[in-house]
Each structure stands twice: as structure tokens, then as C-alpha cells.
Amino acid sequence: MTTYVLIHGAATDAWCWGPLAAGLRGRGHRVVAPDLPCDDDAAGLAQYADTVVAAVAGAAGGDREGGLVVVAHSFGGFTGPLVCARLPVDLLVMLQAQVPAPGETPDAWWENTGYGPARREADRARGVPEGAEEDERALFLHDTPAALAGELLADHQRRQSATPLGAPWPLKAWPEVPTRFLLATGDRFFPPAFLRRHVEDRLGLRPDEMPGDHLPMLGHPQDLAERLEAYRTAR
């Protein structure tokens, strides 16, 4: 039994992992998917990592037989490596995730990576007028079943505190853990061409690719579970 540790992104809770978690449990694995304290102004990235580490320790009395696989989504990319620096993780999977650099603040990530120009280029390519504001369904959830998208937007959005956004990422280097990056080719928020460059620049990896929007765990949970299991068994 492997323990899958699922780290959600900004301004939401762990509900988004529900379909994937069910699929992984159905394959006989343990799933730990804590709610991060994203609306707590006293909590920074260290407290986010504390929350995950405590949840892993509390799962089945801390029994980690079968290994740990950490999956970090979106802004969870700033937390996932911190967890890997503190626990004996067998594999880190970055899913549509931001890849931090040592000493970089999450606020600075956007400009440092060239996100703005890349996003404008991708928007123009799909016919979005300059400066147009797309609604959340169109931008983040266009490939998610309507009922799940509606439930997420109605019941599982949370205020994102600015506290973790201005603090430098504390690691001096990427943790020594096998790392894979899984890219959803339909994401409009983090366009695929941008993420490919970003991942190659920062991790020296060629991302693997799957269908989906910004939350492929909702739109393609079975595909995602199969890919995670393939990574696990390959280890």
C-alpha cells in the first residue's frame, strides 16, 4: 500500500482531489489530502508544509510502508518540495504546478517566469481579445464536468491569504527526490507552451502530457490515477 499525498493549490480546499482519491483508494492505496490553511493570515509556506507533514503522520499511525508519493497541484508546487525535504518521499509529481526557484517569492514567480507575455500570446492564439476577463469556468474548468465545476465554485472556493506570497521560498536547492511533471494540454490559465519552457528551464525535465484543463483531477481522474500508478510502478 502506497500513501499518496495530495497537495491542493491556492484559494480552494482538498475537495478537488475527491474523484482521484477515490480511484487511488480503489486500487488499494492510502490517500492523504489535507486542507491547507490558505485563508489564515498567520500561515506561510512553512505552516502549509507543517499541515501536510502532520496529516501524513496522522494517517494510519504514521505507517508509511509501501512508500510516499507526493502530488502537488498549481500553487501547491511551492509546498510539495518542502514536504519532500522533511519526509522520506519516493516520488514527487508536479501537476500543472508552479516550479519555485531558491529564494524566489510566489509573488515574483509570475514576472520571473515570463508568465504575462506567454499568457497573452496564448490568449491571442485562441482569439481572446486583449485585456478580456474570462469567467472561471471558461478559464479554469472548461474541461471539467459541469456539475463538478459548479460545486467547486459554489462550495469550495476560499480566500487566499497574501501571507505566503511575499516570503522567499526557503530551500537552497531542489530536494533530492525523483520528480516528474505532468502537464494538462488544455489548460488556459497555465498554457502548455509556457509550462513546457518553465519546466525545462527550472527542472531540466520534459513534461509528460495528458488531457485536461487547470484541474485535470476533476475532469480526468481515471487517466490521472493510471498515470500516477505508472510512475509508481516504474519506480
Q: Which three cell numbers stand for residue 113?
A: 517566469
177-191: pLDDT as tens digits: 999 999 999 999 999
pTM: 0.97
Structural domain total, the chain: 1
1-26: pLDDT as tens digits: 999 999 999 999 999 999 999 999 99
**Which domain covers residue 180, as residue numbers?**
3-234
Average pLDDT over residues 149-157: 98
The band of 98, judged by pLDDT with boundaries at 50, 70 and 90, is: very high
Give the closest residue to 144 by CA, choosing from 93, 193, 96, 203.
96
32-76: pLDDT as tens digits: 999 999 999 999 999 999 999 999 999 866 566 779 999 999 999
pLDDT value of position 131: 80
CATH code, domain with 167: 3.40.50.1820
Q: What is the mean pLDDT of the chain?
A: 96
Average pLDDT over residues 192-201: 98
pLDDT value of position 235: 82
Give the closest residue to 74 by CA, choosing from 125, 19, 139.
139
Cα distance between residue 156 and residue 54, in whole Å: 22
Write out 150-176 in H/E/C secondary structure. HHHHHHCECCCCCHHHCCCCCCCCCCC
